[in-house]
Structure 1
Amino acid sequence: MSSPRPRLTRGESMHQQIARHIRNEIAAGVRRDGDVLPSSREMAAEWETSAFTITAAMKVLEAEGFIESKSRSKRVVRVPNQERRGPVRLPKPRVVLIGGYAGSGKTELGRILARATGWPMLDKDTLTRPIVEAALEILGQSPNDRESETYLRLVRPREYEALSGAAEENVQCGNSVIVTAPFIAEFQDAQWLERARARFTDLGATLSVVWVYCDPDTMNVYIRRRGAARDTAKLADWSGYLSRIDTEARPLTDHVVINNCTSARPLQDQAEALVKSLMGLELD
């Protein structure tokens, strides 16, 4: 059964958004115990905000025990129990498809789940971006194009075929797997979802669908901060981009919603609950 839709939140404090994002990076293993964070001035430039806002975010993380201030200019990540756990082997492999709009936090969630379970994580951009960029250039398009008919008709379907093939190969080896991609069109296609579920069932695996929700304001902050060339078109016409998507849409199948808004529970807490749910479902 799907989870209730999270309530849209707007106007959340910038320092809370930054604190949440860094907290997610720590949980995902992007920032490790002992790492020194950039200076307030450097982080202010990175996040396009003021040093005062960065200081406020650091105070939140320090109060939560995630960082330690060595001096006014040196802050260190403190998570001594961050080690990756050993793989969880299930009687039946589980395939977890994690979707969401750009900047929602689906990759961070995938990394947290992978660290908690030891299952391989397959991220669409990581697996396919170099080949996609080369293919687009050969086809006479910008390597950062993600909007044209050429990309949508010729390239995008091949990305998802490659991703599905890699997931199936893991399942055939008896491995559970975590797959992260937008899955925007796929999760709104009941026939695609039915075929995917049937295919993995035939391979002896159980399919779980997860949707990561994040409000548009926070997505914008995250997208601007990561500075990926493929997001240029979105940021150049943000209102136009929002008019073309439906942030209230949800997968047309049983699914779990993870709320990555600043006001929601920490992403790591929701990930831990999701892992327990996956284990419980497996034992039923």
Structure 2
Amino acid sequence: MEPTVIFLIGAAGSGKSTIGKLIASEYNFCYLDKDIVCNRFTGLLLELQGHSPHERDGCVFYRERVMDLEYQTLLDIANFNLQLGLSVVLDAPFLSYFSERNFINELREKYDWQNVKPLVLQVTLDFGVLKERMQARALERDTSKFADWDGFVKGIQEKRCLWEDIEIKQIDNSASTVDLQTMHEALSFDK
């Protein structure tokens, strides 16, 4: 089977990490979480510029200088694994790239993904459940989201993934536990 790269997208707190780890475990994929890969150096870069290490939303320095570096690092690590024949789950929102219709085709060309199957799995959930989960995780980086919850939700609703030439599947993660059968059906893989 050709290696697969799953772009696991969804709002902060939607359960991307839970689903990504399940996919990695169930299918023996490499699991790459942007936060784990990048948060240490991102926090340091932000501090060196006089920002909070948790400041992402609304931070011009992060958006203009750091964000692309984070995603490039994540994709370079993913490509290394894919070239070894290992399938990869990428756990990152990718929200800022949704409007780039040619995003996947540019990655195919850049990394020569002739024998790699890209797939988008979008994690969705009820916004009331999302708010509860974010409150329960109590991360400092979510403070600005709670300060303007309606604006945060509106931003999620307005951001549609417009990538071309890639299948976009959805999985609802509103339940308290992930239904493995639903996950398998969404991925259409034979276990």
How does the TM-score come out when normalised to structure 1? 0.61
State the structure with more CA Rg: 1
Higher relative contact order (CA closer than 8 Å, sequence separation 6+):
2
- Structure 1 residue aligned with 2:48, among 113, 138, 143? 138
User: Can you give the 5+ residue segments of structure 2 that lack an aligned partner in the other structure?
Assistant: none
1:121 equivalent to 2:8? Answer no
> Cα offset for 1:204?
2.3
Q: In 2, Cα distance between the equivalents of 1:127 and 1:243?
A: 28
Specify the SS of the correspondent of 1:278: coil
> Cα offset for 1:201?
5.2
> Cα offset for 1:251?
4.4
1:261 equivalent to 2:174? Answer yes
Alignment of 1:157-168 (within 5 A): 157-168=68-79
- Give structure 1 regions of 4+ aligned residues with deviation exceeding 4 angstroms: none
Query: Which amino acid in structure 2 is aligned with residue 145 of structure 1?
Result: E
Distance 1:94 1:150, change over 3 A: same
> Cα offset for 1:167?
0.4
Distance 1:168 1:267, change over 3 A: same
1:181 equivalent to 2:92? Answer yes
CA displacement 1:218-256 (0-9 Å, x = unmatched) = 111111111111111111221232233326734434210
Q: In 1, Cα distance between the equivalents of 2:119 and 2:22?
A: 16
Specify the SS of the correspondent of 1:252: coil
Distance 1:231 1:130, change over 3 A: same
Q: In 2, Cα distance between the equivalents of 1:126 and 1:251?
A: 26
Query: Which amino acid in structure 1 is aligned with residue 123 of structure 2?
Result: V
Aligned to 1:239: 150
Query: Which amino acid in structure 1 is aligned with residue 139 of structure 2?
Result: A
Q: In 1, Cα distance between the equivalents of 2:131 and 2:162?
A: 22
CA displacement 1:58-104 (0-9 Å, x = unmatched) = xxxxxxxxxxxxxxxxxxxxxxxxxxxxxxxx3x1111111001111
Query: Which amino acid in structure 1 is aligned with residue 185 of structure 2?
Result: A
Kept in 2, the 8 Å contact 1:111–1:121? The answer is yes
Specify the SS of the correspondent of 2:146: helix
Kept in 2, the 8 Å contact 1:212–1:258? The answer is yes
Q: In 1, Cα distance between the equivalents of 2:35 and 2:138?
A: 15
Identity, % of aligned pairs? 28
Distance 1:266 1:100, change over 3 A: same
Q: In 2, Cα distance between the equivalents of 1:248 and 1:143?
A: 25
> Cα offset for 1:185?
2.1
Distance 1:185 1:230, change over 3 A: same
